[in-house]
Structure 1
Amino acid sequence: MKELSVLQSNVADARVVLDTILELEPLVEEAARVLADALLRGNKLLACGNGGSAADASHLTTEFVVRFHKERRPYPAISLTANGGDLTACGNDYSFDDVFSRQVRAFGLKGDVLFAYTTSGNSENVLRALNTARQYGVATVAFLGRAGGACAGIADVELIVRHNVTARIQEAHKLLLHTICELVELRLLAAAEAGEQPLT
């Protein structure tokens, strides 16, 4: 039997992982509802993560500040990973463990939503951000991997991709991210068409 190439092996593995996240559909719909409700109330989205997950956090917020598929008004969304000044000052003056929680304290208001990403589930700065969000009345959605790690059981909605390879977890997180964006955008457009929100 011919040995699979690296690409063939990765695609085969990704198919298996993506099939497993179908069981998360009710939670995906709940995450989309929580976010859509917040944006339609005039609240905002915050997002954080480290490394590749930092890029996912910025990707997510961009989809709302700009757009996903359809032309519509912008909605308030802040990536807590994007401001180098805030991150480095907090890391230098306090601790890297506090770089997100301090920003949640600065920007988070009751009724906002925090989307937090950690493929291991054990990122201390993400864990602190989730706990701080709860203290401030900010709803939380956690994108986790493996068995959820230390962050399991903290967020209002948790989307755990139960796999041990970081790359596969991130790929699944990206699909979940896009699905939530699509579901939320449909709600936002429906509200605009009903006259509940301006379209642009």
Structure 2
Amino acid sequence: MNGFIALPDPPTRRYTAARMTDWIEKYLAAQAAAHAALPADTVVRFVELLKAALREDRQIFVFGNGGSAANAAHFATDLGKGASDRLPRRFRVWALTDNLSWLTALANDYSYEEVFVRPLQNLARTGDVAIGISVSGNSPNCVRALEWARNNGLRTVALVGGAPCRMAELAELVLAVPDTHYGRVEDVHMTFLHLACYAFIEHPEWAGPFPPS
């Protein structure tokens, strides 16, 4: 004997698999509804914005926190490598989340609200593109970066959730997913970003002829 007494499962644990299956089915149904609400015309406008940035040799900056930071880095990879490998000119894209030394120095010496706007002040020029990603749409560091970008002549994009938010008020182009569940909204944001990248990967001709260098 090991000194422990085996107790029967309480009634609330006997049907865990059935309850889990029900929860999964409901989650997937809500996920499908969120994806179905993704407007194709907004994707087209975003692709056209990226196309203009490519043709004009503009810099594209993308940023967010947490899962949105991961989406920003993923997008920069897909656009900077996958899409660029298929085109005669390469996208100049950078996720502002990806220089850990600079980001933490800014957070430590100023505040976390400054971690995205300060690199923009160093590097961004009129006509460049700033893409902010935030489910709440009110993350102070993203709001501050988009405010600076708009005030300094950058083209601005906000990927947000369904609640009213400051980033949606600031941006030229807005994707507002009609949901507030963080996992679902982040998944739809990544689908939106994937669609834009794969538009160039699978149809590089859509970038059009490039002007002479």
* The two structures share one fold, judged by TM-score above 0.5: yes
DSSP-derived class of the 1:127 partner: helix
How far did 1:196 drift? Answer: 3.8
2:124 to 73, 88, 108: 108
Percent identity over paired residues: 30
Task: Give the match's secondary structure for 2:174.
Answer: strand
| 1:153 pairs with 2:169 | yes
- Secondary structure at the aligned position of 1:86 is classed as helix
TM-score, scaled to structure 1: 0.88
Residues 163, 190 of structure 1: CA spacing in aligned structure 2 closer, same or farther, 3 A cutoff?
Answer: closer
| Pick aligned residue for 2:151 from 125, 135, 143 | 135
TM-score normalized with structure 2 length: 0.83
User: For structure 2, which runs of at least 5 residues remain unmatched after alignment?
Assistant: 1-17
Distance 2:211 2:206 in 1: 9
2:56 to 22, 35, 41: 41
Distance 1:68 1:5 in 2: 39
Aligned equivalents of 1:69, 1:43: Cα separation in 2: 14
Listed as ranges, the gaps of 5+ residues in structure 1 are none
What SS does structure 1 have at the residue aligned with 2:127? coil
Q: CA deviation at 1:74?
A: 2.9
Q: Which AA in structure 1 matches 2:167?
A: C
2-side partners of 1:118 and 1:88: how far apart?
20
Structure having the higher Rg: 2
**RMSD (CA atoms):** 2.2
Distance 1:42 1:69 in 2: 12
What residue in structure 2 maps to residue 84 of structure 1?
100
Residue type at the aligned position of 2:73 = S
CA contact (8 A) 2:84 2:91 kept: no
Matched length: 194
Q: Which amino acid aligns with 2:166?
A: A
Question: 1:114-146, CA deviations, whole angstroms, 9 ceiling, x for partnerless residues?
Answer: 111000111000000100111221101100002
The answer to whether the Cα contact below 8 Å between 2:200 and 2:206 also exists between their aligned partners in 1 is no
The answer to whether structure 1 residue 174 and structure 2 residue 172 are counterparts is no
Corresponding position of 1:60:
75
